[in-house]
Amino acid sequence: MQRLNIARFIQKKLLLCILIMGETVYLGMGSNLGDRLENIRRAVDLCRTSIGVLLESSAIYETTPWGFDCDRNFYNSVIRMRSTLEPEEILNRIKDIENLFGRRKTRSGYEPRVIDIDILLYGTRVINSPGLTIPHKHLPYRKFVLVPLQTLAPGFVHPLSGKTIRELLEACPDRGIVTPVAAI
Domain boundaries, the chain: 22-182
In this structure, whether the domain defined by 22-182 belongs to CATH 3.20.20.70 is answered with no
Active site residue 118: yes
CA distance 35 to 179: 17
Instruction: Spot the catalytic one: 41, 118, 142, 174.
Output: 118
Active site residue 69: no
Torsion angle (degrees, nearest 10) of CA 140, 142, 143, 149: -60
Comparing 21-30, 37-46, 63-72, the range with the smallest average pLDDT is 63-72
Question: Between these two residues, 135 and 19, which has the higher pLDDT value?
Answer: 135
pLDDT at 153: 97
Active site residue 113: yes
Q: Which of left, alpha, beta for 62 (phi over 0: left; psi -120 to 50: alpha)? A: beta
pLDDT of residue 108: 61
Statement: residue 125 has pLDDT above 90: yes
* Band of residue 103 on the pLDDT scale cut at 50, 70, 90: confident
Name the pTM for this structure.
Answer: 0.89
